[in-house]
Amino acid sequence: MPSATFVRAFMFAKAMIAVKGVNHYAEDVEAVVRQTPGAAGRRCAAFAWHGEGEEEFLVVLWEAPSGDEARAEAVSSDIRRELRDRLGLTAVEVCPVAPASIPFTSSGKVKRAQARLMWPELPQSVPSAARGAAREPGDES
C-alpha cells in the first residue's frame, strides 16, 4: 500500500509598505538605506505613516553615529535621494536616531511595529506636513 507523503511549506511574509498607492517591501527599502554611503551596514527600520489628515508617507529610522548632526543630516539627504532614484519613493521622512535605539529581536530582525510606535516620541519627529513629510523629487532640504 503506497504511503502518502506530506510536504509542509513554510512561507514568511515580507513586510509590505503602501505609499501613495504603491506597494514596497520594507526589506527592499532597508537594503537601499544600508547600501547608502555613510549609512552602510547601519541598522535601520522602514514603515508607513498615515497621520490624521495627512498623506501617507514612508518613515526611515537609521542609526547614525553620535556627535555629528550635520553629517547625519547630509547622509539622511543621501538616503532620500537613493530611495527616490532606486525605488521611486518621493514621500519619505528620514530620521537619524542614536545607535542601538531601533528595536530588534534576539535573532537580529527589526521590530518595525515597535519602531513605528517610538517614532512620534523622538525629539526630531513631528509627524506633520510642516516637517516636509511629502518631499518632492529634487527637494533635499
Per residue of the chain (141 residues), what is the pLDDT tens digit? 566 666 665 555 568 887 878 889 999 999 999 999 999 888 999 998 876 666 788 999 999 988 888 999 999 999 999 999 999 998 899 999 989 899 999 998 999 999 998 888 877 554 433 333 333 334 443
Domains along the chain? Answer: 16-131 (3.30.300.30)
Ordered alpha helix ranges (H), the chain: 26-35, 69-87, 112-118
User: Which H helix or E strand runs over 121?
Assistant: none
Q: What is the pLDDT at residue 17? A: 82
Q: What is the pLDDT at residue 19? A: 80
Q: Is 100 left (phi over 0), alpha (psi -120 to 50) or beta?
A: left
CB within 8 A of 89, min separation 6: which ones?
19, 24, 29, 58, 83
Largest CA distance in the chain: 73
What is the spatial distance between Cα 66 and Cα 25, in angstroms, rounded to a whole number?
A: 29
What angle do the packed helices 26-35 and 69-87 form, to 10 degrees?
Answer: 130
Q: What is the pLDDT at residue 20? A: 79
pTM flag (> 0.85): no
Q: What is the pLDDT at residue 122? A: 77
What is the spatial distance between Cα 91 and Cα 136, in angstroms, rounded to a whole number?
A: 7
CB within 8 A of 42, min separation 6: which ones?
33, 34, 62, 63, 64
Q: What is the pLDDT at residue 6? A: 62
